[in-house]
Structure 1
Amino acid sequence: MFADTPRLPYIPDVVWAGDDDARIDRRTDPDAWANAVAADIPLVTQVDDGTDAGHMIPTSSASMPSLVRLMLEQLDPRTDHNVLELGTGTGWSTALLSTALTRGRVTSIEVDPHVAAQAQESLFAGDFEPTLIVGDGLQGYKEDAPYDRLIATMAVRRVPYAWVEQTTPGGVIVTPWGNAYNVSGLLRLVVDGDGTASGPFVGNVNFMWARSQRSAFDGRRFVGDVIPDPKTRRVRHTTTDPRPIREEHADFAIGLRLPDVEHRTYFGQGDRFATWYADGESWASIDYKPGADSFEVNEHGPRDLWAEIEAAYEAWRDQGEPPREQHGITVTRDGQSTWLDGPNGRVEIGPASGA
């Protein structure tokens, strides 16, 4: 599938790549562009929704090929399946699905008309003819339902029940998932005959949000806009080392308990850093200095956010520090619940004490 369908024909002339999100234009630097496209890295293909707003916020991308492979392996499409893809993007994954489904059908939805038009041009040039729709993928597309497989290429905070309704019993839903605190879960759900869907997290991914579920702080300076006056604060000290709290699985688990809190880390000289947390009304920050026995915490607002973070971290440690992949989600008509160690007799993950 991958050998027969390279991603190069689906990448636009201008991309942003690398740790510094450097702009690369095929017309002025074709070698750098070709090298970026050939590398196993994500490529930003649109910023600021295609406007000249100047924020340089990534709003569409081509995922790194190894991640595309992982997601398609988790989806496990068969040759005769009916597949719904949410987020056409460049069209490359749409082409890969079309290559795999020799007797099946691919329907792909893209919310951005300009991105959709570029994908359509690339797909038709490659002799692929999936059903391409411009619209809101969160609603699914009931006209071509039911689907054997459903895959999303944008992150969601809640799995829309429309996706479950439009997928056949035994069908698979693969989607990036997250919340304000952490967006790193790749979720694989299997739809049951009772109208529910359940499954575990199967990997570490980082996708852009569905446009209607974006962060409330996008386009705003975290310190200066979200936190307008850092001088108005309560000051105390903690002996809790902030470094392990930032590690991958701890960060995910804390996010399950504090889904409305966002955080940013700013690095200084040496190994110093400061992490800021905010919910739009309350905020907290902690400063890490190598060799220190205690760390300064600054806070403001009605919530004691740092105490909540410490409580969430300790709750996760008390559970034996389970990794992300030990957690999962069940989706019903009434909403979604998060569990640990399987949906039967599941341990509900709720807000930390004091939240």
Structure 2
Amino acid sequence: MSTSVDWDGVFADTPRSAYVPAVVWGSDDARIDRDKDPEAWADAVAADAPLVTQMDDGMPDGNLIPTSSSSQPSLVRLMLEQLDVASDHHILEIGTGTGWSTALLSAALTGGRLTSVEVDPLVAIQAHESLRAADPMPTLIVGDGLHGYKEGAPYDRLIATMAVRNVPYAWVEQVRPEGVILTPWGTAYHNSGLLRLVVAGDGTASGRFVGNVNFMWARSQRPRFEARRFVGDVIADPSACRVRHTATDPRPLQEEHADFAIGLRLPDVEQRTFFGSGAHAGEFTTWYADGESWASVDYVPDAASFEVNEGGPRDLWREIEAAYQAWRARGEPRREQHGVTVTGDGQWTWHAGSRGRVDCGSSNPWKASWNVSSM
């Protein structure tokens, strides 16, 4: 018989410190070594804050791009509660990471079973060592979690600990009808959604966003320019551009829910914002690019209009303005009023508002027939 989980007890009995490696990076990429400064390490682990546990996929001499982490404890708790776990569930976890969330789930499943998949072999080895004391011991798999793990299917619950832009249909196929899929989700433009899907008997899954999270991307779904220098590399020659001015203040467009909604309509566009300092404090420039076209907008306090520079065939700033106005016309809905539906043919985003449910995302949804490894 299913019983609910006492998460207070599970967290008390499963301390984070047993699963965090000796070297981590805190805020501002500050490196914290337990052997050199045990007090600083202990303070960092005890804090309700995320800790980076790997840079640059474990490769030396990289650009200090975070690629694995121990998530913020309060966020881990939120996600486990949203998963709605019963003690006899069969659960698939995508992204073992340090093994802490794996250990929490394992402790909760007194009558069920847990399978956890990790794509990085070195991360998986470390997690396996940390999980030796777990009871019951979960099944640990090294592989691409975007394919799920069909050998253990069907599952009652699936939880991912990395962000996806495209929900793999394999996940839907491997979860029972009425089962739950919980995953961070975003676009190249904006990454902040915690998506909770419920699988239907017809082989589809649908659900709304239930929170604000920002997770590292699944490795094969990373935005194209994530590790590249935006200006001078992605945008090779910013001086070759069209120049105009706009009366649209760029600040409201960067508000959390507006930015999310714009990203639904421009999911292939990436952005970076650079802030001024000294005499230019309070100013900023935001750059947008899709690989062929780009735009930048300069914000200056108290200006009557704002300079826009653009290059390439698309008029990106006008597209961004149009997406923002479309969001305003829908009543400025919050992220949590939006949802995603996944079928064997693709996925699309929608908004549930006063006029019912309406599609509001890109007109070119991904197709499930795409090769996952090529995304």
Any runs of at least 4 consecutive aligned residues in structure 1 with deviations exceeding 3 A, and if so which? Answer: 125-128
C-alpha contact (below 8 Å) 1:5/1:96 kept by paired residues:
yes
For structure 2, the 5+ residue unaligned runs are 1-9, 364-375
CA deviation profile, 1:219-248 (whole Å, cap 9, x unmatched) = 210111111111001100001000000010
Summarize the alignment of residues 200-215 of structure 1 with structure 2, pairs less than 5 Å apart. Answer: 200-215=208-223
CA deviation profile, 1:161-199 (whole Å, cap 9, x unmatched) = 110110011100000011110111000001111111110
Q: What is the rounded CA distance, in whole Å, between the counterparts of 1:126 and 1:73 in structure 2?
A: 20
For structure 1, the 5+ residue unaligned runs are none
C-alpha contact (below 8 Å) 1:84/1:106 kept by paired residues:
yes
Summarize the alignment of residues 168-317 of structure 1 with structure 2, pairs less than 5 Å apart. Answer: 168-269=176-277, 270-317=281-328
Q: How many residues align?
A: 350
Amino acid at match of 1:168: R
Asked if residue 8 in structure 1 is aligned to residue 17 in structure 2, the reply is: yes
Amino acid at match of 1:183: N
Q: TM-score, normalised by structure 2?
A: 0.92
1:350 aligns with one of 339, 361, 364: 361
Amino acid at match of 1:114: L
Partner of 2:368: none
- Give the SS at the match of 1:277: strand
C-alpha contact (below 8 Å) 1:95/1:128 kept by paired residues:
no
What is the deviation of 1:128?
4.7
Partner of 2:81: 73
1:25 aligns with one of 33, 56, 80: 33
Q: What is the rounded CA distance, in whole Å, between the counterparts of 1:61 and 1:98 in structure 2?
A: 19
- Give the SS at the match of 1:256: helix
Q: TM-score, normalised by structure 1?
A: 0.97
What is the deviation of 1:142?
0.6
CA deviation profile, 1:33-75 (whole Å, cap 9, x unmatched) = 1000000000000001101132111110000001000100100
Q: What is the rounded CA distance, in whole Å, between the counterparts of 2:78 and 2:318 in structure 1?
A: 37
Amino acid at match of 1:7: R
Partner of 1:54: 62
Q: What is the rounded CA distance, in whole Å, between the counterparts of 1:323 and 1:211 in structure 2?
A: 28
CA deviation profile, 1:274-304 (whole Å, cap 9, x unmatched) = 0000000110000101110100000000000
Asked if residue 339 in structure 1 is aligned to residue 350 in structure 2, the reply is: yes
Asked if residue 149 in structure 1 is aligned to residue 157 in structure 2, the reply is: yes
What is the deviation of 1:346?
2.6
Identity of aligned residues (%): 75
Asked if residue 84 in structure 1 is aligned to residue 108 in structure 2, the reply is: no
Q: What is the rounded CA distance, in whole Å, between the counterparts of 1:350 and 1:268 in structure 2?
A: 33
Amino acid at match of 1:251: D
What is the deviation of 1:349?
1.4
- Give the SS at the match of 2:12: coil
CA deviation profile, 1:56-102 (whole Å, cap 9, x unmatched) = 11110000001000100100110000000000000000000011100
Q: Out of 53-62 and 108-117, give the one that drifted further.
A: 53-62
- Give the SS at the match of 2:307: strand
- Give the SS at the match of 1:302: coil
Partner of 1:129: 137
C-alpha contact (below 8 Å) 2:348/2:361 kept by paired residues:
no
CA deviation profile, 1:230-267 (whole Å, cap 9, x unmatched) = 10011000010000000100000000000000000000
Q: What is the rounded CA distance, in whole Å, between the counterparts of 1:39 and 1:351 in structure 2?
A: 39
